[in-house]
Amino acid sequence: MDWADFGVDLHLELDAAGGRRSGLERALRAAIRDGRLPPSARLPATRALAAELGMARGTVSAAYDQLVAEGWLVARVGAGTEVSPLRRPAPPGPAPVPAPAPPRYDLRPGSPDVGAFPVAAWLRATRRALATAPATAYGYGDPRGRPELREALAGYLGRARGVLTDPERIVVTTGYVQALVLLTTVLRDAGRPALAMEDPGLPFHREVVRRQGGRVLPLPVDDQGARTGLLGAGDLADVGAAVVTPAHQYPTGVTLHPARRHALTGWARDADALVVEDDYDGEFRYDRQPVGAVQGTAPEQVAYVGTAAKTLGPALRLAWLVLPARLVEPVVEAKRHLDVQTEVVGQLALADLITSHGYDRQVRTVRRRYRQRRDLLLDRLGRRAAVGGVSAGLHATVALPPGGPTEAEVLAGAAARGLALTGLDAHRHHPGAGPPGLVVGYATPPSHAYPAALDELATVLRAAASRR
């Protein structure tokens, strides 16, 4: 019998000290103890293992019998020998610290309602895509991504977001973070490592830039969005790029004023700089038609980043970069040396979903769902709290009174009630430099839990107001 017929691949470190049988017993106990042989795993037949290890069959049989007697193994007539189903590997090192219990209600921003993932439509799209994909699709391919998806994205982004592009200028990535890594790498290598990033903004993204050798400078945000008039002067005089969220600023929720959009692209032209447009939830506008992408007004100055994380789900790991012509080759080269290419099956399925208009239907479905959630948030909180940033997106802000309690006290009170929230201060480049507030994500909770989560939030805010 060949080792391939054993039913389980197994590496055994045999120590002959004390005899070959004892060494085999110790090796099998160690494999079971550390989990390499899990519960109910089938062991090789004694004849086969003896041949593989160069032992007498009787030696292997005796070792098996001893471990059966000790309870490590179970022998069944006609079914061979298996690891006892009651055996569990011992945890390595000190006893692990139990993970903290998840909150009862999660109103943190950044995640969609994953229960809205269109399972049936995705399965149909995947089947169609796999049925028609050429065999070459499963080999190494273009770092830019599959041509089917880049072509589908060029059409969709043009009609839905006002993006001006063609498939040759699109690079598919494994998410917004990888897109930011690629752009930071290219700017750093070109001698432009300083990036202006919105303040407040997502701290994780700032850390991504720093870890790639970039230098982060704060670009202040007010009620008209990023203060783009500050670019090109003072501390922001020599930045090579400005990273912005024009459609729905994260986390304040404001939309970039038209005059500032114009100033932003004008600065990029004059300074030979780059605008990085993070369109993370641009499809979700509730008070009017979604605001078009800045990229459509200046395609040679803007690198547009979109993602399927909010419309479908972050687990797909699919996003896209729409690049100025001069950046296509440098970004492709950086992508080639980062991970060669993004996985293919998801790309093919998404391309099919877009061309069959299933993606449009999904966007409309979840847009209605999130608008209903936004409306319920306003209904429950609008009379007792200053709620902002509600014209679009998947989150809102709640201002806290300047006289206290502090943001930290409110967050602690929420945690005590099993409610997870995020504070505005955590998003600032310099904590404490702005008014206190909460960032409330209304997409994360499952539908059945959302009303109760809002009730808890209202209770927390009432308690905060009573302590003033």
All structural domains of the chain: 3-83 (1.10.10.10), 105-111+366-466 (3.90.1150.10), 117-360 (3.40.640.10)
Whose CA is closest to 171, among 39, 54, 335?
335
Kindly state the helix (H) or strand (E) to which residue 211 belongs, with its residue range. helix 203-211
Exposed/middle/buried for residue 233 (C-beta within 10 Å: 0-12, 13-18, 19+): exposed
pTM across the whole model: 0.85
The CA-atom distances, in angstroms, between 460 and each of 158, 270, 377, 378, 385 are 44, 49, 14, 16, 11
Average pLDDT over residues 206-231: 97
User: pLDDT at position 101, please?
Assistant: 77
User: What φ, ψ does residue 180 adopt, rounded to 5°?
Assistant: -65, -40
Nearest CA to 244 among 207, 280, 284?
280
The pairing of beta strand 437-441 with beta strand 194-199: unpaired
pLDDT value for 1: 36
Q: What is the CA radius of gyration of the chain?
A: 28
Pick from 116-120, 250-254, 383-387: least confident: 383-387
Q: Is the pLDDT of residue 330 over 90?
A: yes
Percent share of the chain, pLDDT over 90: 76
Question: Cα separation of 39 and 22, whole Å?
Answer: 22
pLDDT in tens, 167-201: 999 999 999 999 999 999 999 999 999 999 999 99
For 398, what's the count of Cα atoms within 13 Å in the CB-facing half-sphere? Answer: 32
277 close to 295: Cβ distance less than 8 angstroms: yes
pLDDT tens-place string over residues 331-383 = 999 999 999 999 999 999 999 999 999 999 999 999 999 999 999 999 998 77
Find residue 437's DSSP bridge partners.
399
- Count Cβ neighbours within 10 Å for each residue of 254-282 and write b for 16 or more, e otherwise: bbbbeebbebbbebbeebebbbbbbbbbb
Q: How confident is the model at residue 401 (pLDDT cuts 50, 70, 90)?
A: confident
Query: According to the model, what pLDDT value does residue 20 have?
Result: 86
Q: Is the pLDDT of residue 8 over 60?
A: no
Name the more confident of 311 and 290.
311
Q: What is the pLDDT of residue 291?
A: 85
Q: Which residues of 404-440 are buried (b: 16+ CB within 10 A; e: fewer)?
A: ebebeebbebbeeeebbbbbbbebbbeeeebebbbbb
Question: What local confidence, expressed as pLDDT, does residue 150 receive?
Answer: 98
For the stretch 63-113, pLDDT in tens is 999 999 989 999 887 778 999 988 666 666 666 667 677 899 999 999 999
3-state SS, one letter per residue, for 125-158: HHHHHHHHCCHHHHCCCCCCCCHHHHHHHHHHHH
> DSSP class of residue 308?
S
Residues 139-145 have a mean pLDDT of 96
**Distance from C-alpha of 29 to C-alpha of 84, rounded to nearest angstrom:** 11
Is the pLDDT score of 17 beyond 80? no
Residue 237 has pLDDT above 50, yes or no: yes
Sequence-distant (≥ 6) Cβ neighbours of residue 52 within 8 angstroms: 3, 6, 44
C-alpha 203, offset from chain centre: 15
State yes or no: pLDDT of 10 exceeds 70: no
Looking at the predicted structure, is the pLDDT value of residue 6 above 60?
A: no
User: pLDDT digit string (tens) for 407-449?
Assistant: 999 999 999 999 999 999 999 999 988 899 999 999 999 889 9
Token pair in block for residue 150: 């880049």
